Amino acid sequence: MSNANTQPTGVEEEIHYLELDQMIEKEFNNDKENLIMILQAIQRRYNYLPRPALSYVSEKLSIPYSRIYEVSTFYSTFSLEPRGRNIISICTGTACHVRGADRIKEHIETSLKIKDGETTEDKRYTLESVRCIGCCSLGPVVKINEDMHGRIATDEIKNVLNQYE
- Name the site residues for other proteins (rule: CB under 8 A): 1-2, 31-37, 39-40, 67, 70-71, 74-78, 92-100, 103, 106-107, 130-139, 141, 146, 148-150, 153-155
Task: Please give, one letter per residue, the 3-state secondary structure of the chain.
Answer: CCCCCCCCCCCCCCCCHHHHHHHHHHHCCCCHHHHHHHHHHHHHHHCCCCHHHHHHHHHHHCCCHHHHHHHHHHCCCCCCCCCCCEEEEEECCHHHHHCCHHHHHHHHHHHHCCCCCCECCCCCEEEEEECCCCCHHHCCCEEECCEEECCCCHHHHHHHHHCCC
Min CB(136)–other proteins separation in Å: 4
Q: Which is nearer to other proteins, 71 or 160 (CB)?
A: 71
Q: Which is nearer to other proteins, 52 or 150 (CB)?
A: 150
Give yes or no for a contact between 9 and 79, defined as CB atoms under 8 angstroms apart: no
Min CB(76)–other proteins separation in Å: 4
Q: Which is nearer to other proteins, 75 or 82 (CB)?
A: 75
Measured in degrees and rounded to the nearest 5, phi and psi for residue 40 equal -60, -40
Q: Which is nearer to other proteins, 15 or 61 (CB)?
A: 61
Q: Which is nearer to other proteins, 23 or 148 (CB)?
A: 148
Q: How far apart are CA 40 and CA 42, in angstroms?
A: 5
Min CB(119)–other proteins separation in Å: 18
Min CB(82)–other proteins separation in Å: 19
Min CB(12)–other proteins separation in Å: 25
